[in-house]
């Protein structure tokens, strides 16, 4: 699945929290936000795509999940925060190359062709990872360790990047071929940008096979690289992106422009991003994996950048100027997004209310981001009661409708959208501040359920208002409109 990820270290964020966020860019997948009760976590997991059966540990924890409404292709949980305030987003589809895949092929499901033969199970994939990992880990580091051991044992049938976070740390893991992996800790003062490419551009093997302070990897990675002549670096340093990533022309229209725009937004004066003498251009292969931002990053910044479509550049597909390069690059905020979640862990708050999940459905360019408390037994029906049929009674379908109505009439609708997005963000912050104070002062954390219901009531009110407005706006633009004065 083509997605975009941003990771924000605690010293790079506005309040000292960690934030990990990802656009889950399926093909208009119907999504919902639910809480998985430990009693409903399976003892034996069987994947739909890989046909793989795995025995799961005892004593799983409760966790949030944003699964597909239809389970015919599997769960696809996408994001989650467990009751230990550990978050996970999975996965960012990344890239690889023939040298890697020739040495360690993906583990694909193979159906038996002859009578008496058995099917050959495939490996793990995006369908599976959140369910297999998030209920059993108590830190971001433990997430890397558990997922790494699963990859080494079962393999994977696709290339993926996965993020884990807790109140103190963020870790990013990338798969390498069928059974290998590499992981790097996000430094507290930095943010990371990931646009569907193999991303890690620096690695310290001494640390990975020693203290594991900032780097980890599969046990035989050094031998794997050496025996298969994978190290393409020529300057004495080890850049994993050069070794394990892709080197294709399509990266320059699909992937690197997104990294360019994200870096340009958070570090506008640190580098030259435009013109002939730019340090980095939209098609540059060497845009860094991580940066120190010029100012602290807020949830609204994360939402904006994951909603963006090259505003202020010649590449904006909605521009009224008919520039020859208009629309040539794949946007970050794309039409087919199912869900985007900003998973925020606030280490300075009581553990019961540390975790906030900012949830958006549908195309981020036109939707709003709503915060809810994650450490709870159930989510409001406005987020969880989503069916395959269109309905204005839930956040998912209402968001999809707003996007579909606003997109064709962008010029007249964008002001309505911006007001809507601001209203939900303003109301979200106001209610979170209000309930944070109440729960800290009283110690009554049962108020979380009331807080989430009130947050959803606010969002529904603003969403209905916006839907009314964009529907009227679109109706005025219908091609069969005709007045008697038009003749």
Q: What is the spatial distance between Cα 355 and Cα 5, in angstroms, rounded to a whole number? A: 19
Position 115 scores a pLDDT of 87
Query: Which residue is it, tokens 């005892």?
Result: 58
CA angle (8 as vertex; 434, 84 as ends), nearest 5: 60
Nearest to 289 by CA among 170, 139, 163, 186: 186
> Active-site residue 3, yes or no?
yes
Q: Looking at residues 305-310, what average pLDDT do you find?
A: 98
Residue 69 CB-density burial (10 A; 0-12 exposed, 13-18 middle, 19+ buried): middle
Position 382 scores a pLDDT of 98
**Worst-scoring range by mean pLDDT, 109-123, 157-171, 337-351, 386-400?**
109-123
CA 354 vs CA 88, 156, 420: distances in Å:
15, 33, 27
Q: Looking at residues 457-462, what average pLDDT do you find?
A: 98
Position 236 scores a pLDDT of 84
Q: What is the spatial distance between Cα 467 and Cα 470, in angstroms, rounded to a whole number? A: 5
Catalytic one of 3, 217, 456, 466: 3
Q: Looking at residues 30-34, what average pLDDT do you find?
A: 98
Position 360 scores a pLDDT of 98
Residue 233 banded pLDDT, cuts 50, 70, 90: very high
478 pLDDT higher than 90 = yes
486 pLDDT higher than 80 = no
Confirm if 461 and 426 have CB atoms less than 8 A apart: no
Nearest to 64 by CA among 371, 395, 377: 377
Q: What is the spatial distance between Cα 433 and Cα 416, in angstroms, rounded to a whole number? A: 26
Residue 422 contacts by C-beta under 8 Å, 6 or more apart in sequence? Answer: none
The pTM of the whole model exceeds 0.95: yes
Question: Which residues, in sequence order, are bridge partners of residue 65?
Answer: 34
Query: Which residue is it, tokens 């369910």?
Result: 131
Question: Which residues, in sequence order, are bridge partners of residue 7?
Answer: 20, 192
Mean of the per-residue pLDDT values of the chain: 97
What does the domain layout of the chain look like in residue ranges? 4-365, 382-481
Nearest to 406 by CA among 455, 480, 398: 398
215 pLDDT higher than 70 = yes
Q: What is the spatial distance between Cα 30 and Cα 339, in angstroms, rounded to a whole number? A: 9
Residue 420 banded pLDDT, cuts 50, 70, 90: very high
485 pLDDT higher than 80 = no
Q: What is the pLDDT of residues 50-68, one digit of tens each?
A: 999 999 999 999 999 999 9
Helix, strand, or coil (residue 302): helix
Q: What is the spatial distance between Cα 263 and Cα 273, in angstroms, rounded to a whole number? A: 9
343 pLDDT higher than 70 = yes
186 pLDDT higher than 90 = yes
Q: Residue 7 is inside which H or E element, if any?
A: strand 4-8
391 pLDDT higher than 80 = yes
Position 483 scores a pLDDT of 79
Residue 1 banded pLDDT, cuts 50, 70, 90: low
Q: What is the pLDDT of residues 284-301, one digit of tens each?
A: 999 999 999 999 999 999
What is the third-level CATH fold of 4-365? Penicillin V Acylase; Chain A (3.60.60)
CA 35 remoteness from chain centre:
18
Position 487 scores a pLDDT of 62
213 pLDDT higher than 80 = yes
DSSP state of 39: G
DSSP state of 270: T
Nearest to 31 by CA among 340, 446, 480: 340
Position 258 scores a pLDDT of 98
Position 312 scores a pLDDT of 96
Q: How many helices (H) and strands (E) does the chain have?
A: 13, 17
Residue 160 contacts by C-beta under 8 Å, 6 or more apart in sequence? Answer: 90, 91, 92, 93, 94, 125, 126, 129, 174, 175
Q: Residue 18 is inside which H or E element, if any?
A: strand 18-24
Position 2 scores a pLDDT of 79
Position 47 scores a pLDDT of 96
Q: What is the pLDDT of residues 65-124, one digit of tens each?
A: 999 999 999 999 999 999 999 999 999 999 999 999 999 999 999 999 888 889 999 999
Concatenate the DSSP letters of all residues of 340-402 into one string: EEEEEE-TTS-GGG-EEEEEEES-TTT---EEEE-SSS---HHHH---SS--TTSHHHHHHHH
């Amino acid at each position: 699945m083509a997605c975009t990820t941003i990771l924000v270290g605690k010293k790079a964020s506005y309040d000292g929290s960690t934030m990990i966020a990802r656009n889950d860019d399926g093909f208009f997948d119907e999504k919902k936000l639910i809480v998985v009760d430990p009693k409903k976590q399976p003892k034996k997991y069987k994947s739909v795509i890989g046909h793989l059966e795995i025995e799961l540990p005892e004593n799983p924890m409760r966790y949030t999940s944003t699964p597909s409404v239809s389970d015919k292709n599997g769960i696809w949980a996408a994001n989650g925060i467990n009751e230990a305030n550990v978050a996970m987003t999975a996965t960012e589809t990344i890239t690889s190359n023939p040298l890697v895949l020739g040495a360690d092929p993906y583990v694909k499901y193979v159906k038996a062709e002859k009578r008496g033969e058995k099917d050959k199970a495939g490996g793990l994939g995006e369908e599976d990872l959140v369910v297999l990992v998030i209920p059993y880990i108590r830190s971001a580091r433990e997430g890397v360790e558990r997922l790494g051991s699963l990859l080494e044992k079962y393999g994977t049938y696709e290339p993926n990047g996965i993020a884990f976070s807790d109140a103190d740390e963020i870790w990013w893991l990338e798969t390498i071929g069928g059974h290998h992996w590499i992981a790097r800790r996000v430094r507290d003062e930095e943010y990371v940008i990931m646009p569907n490419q193999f991303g890690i551009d620096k690695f310290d093997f001494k640390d990975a096979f020693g203290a594991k302070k900032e780097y980890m990897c599969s046990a035989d990675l050094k031998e794997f690289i050496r025996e298969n002549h994978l190290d393409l670096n020529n300057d004495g340093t080890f850049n994993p992106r050069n070794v394990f990533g892709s080197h294709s022309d399509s990266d320059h229209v699909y992937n690197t422009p997104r990294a360019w725009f994200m870096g340009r937004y958070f570090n506008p004066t640190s580098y030259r991003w435009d013109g002939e003498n730019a340090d980095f251009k939209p098609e540059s292969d060497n845009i860094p994996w991580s940066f120190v931002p010029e100012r602290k990053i807020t949830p609204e910044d994360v939402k904006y950048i994951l909603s963006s479509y090259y505003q202020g550049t010649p590449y904006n597909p909605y521009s009224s100027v008919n520039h020859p390069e208009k629309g040539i690059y794949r946007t970050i905020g794309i039409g087919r997004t199912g869900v985007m979640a900003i998973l925020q862990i606030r280490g300075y708050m009581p553990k019961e209310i540390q975790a906030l999940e900012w949830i958006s459905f549908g195309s981020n360019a036109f939707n709003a981001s709503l915060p809810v408390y994650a450490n709870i037994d159930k989510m409001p029906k406005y987020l969880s009661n989503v069916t395959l049929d269109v309905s204005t009674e839930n956040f998912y379908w209402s968001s999809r409708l707003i996007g579909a109505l606003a997109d064709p009439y962008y010029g007249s609708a964008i002001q309505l959208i911006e007001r809507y997005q601001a209203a939900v963000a303003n109301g979200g912050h106001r209610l979170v501040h209000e309930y944070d104070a109440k729960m800290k002062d009283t110690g009554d954390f049962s108020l979380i359920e009331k807080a989430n219901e009130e947050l959803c009531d606010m969002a529904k009110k603003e969403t209905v208002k916006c839907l009314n407005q964009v529907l009227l706006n679109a109706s005025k633009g219908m091609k069969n409109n005709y007045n008697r004065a038009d003749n």
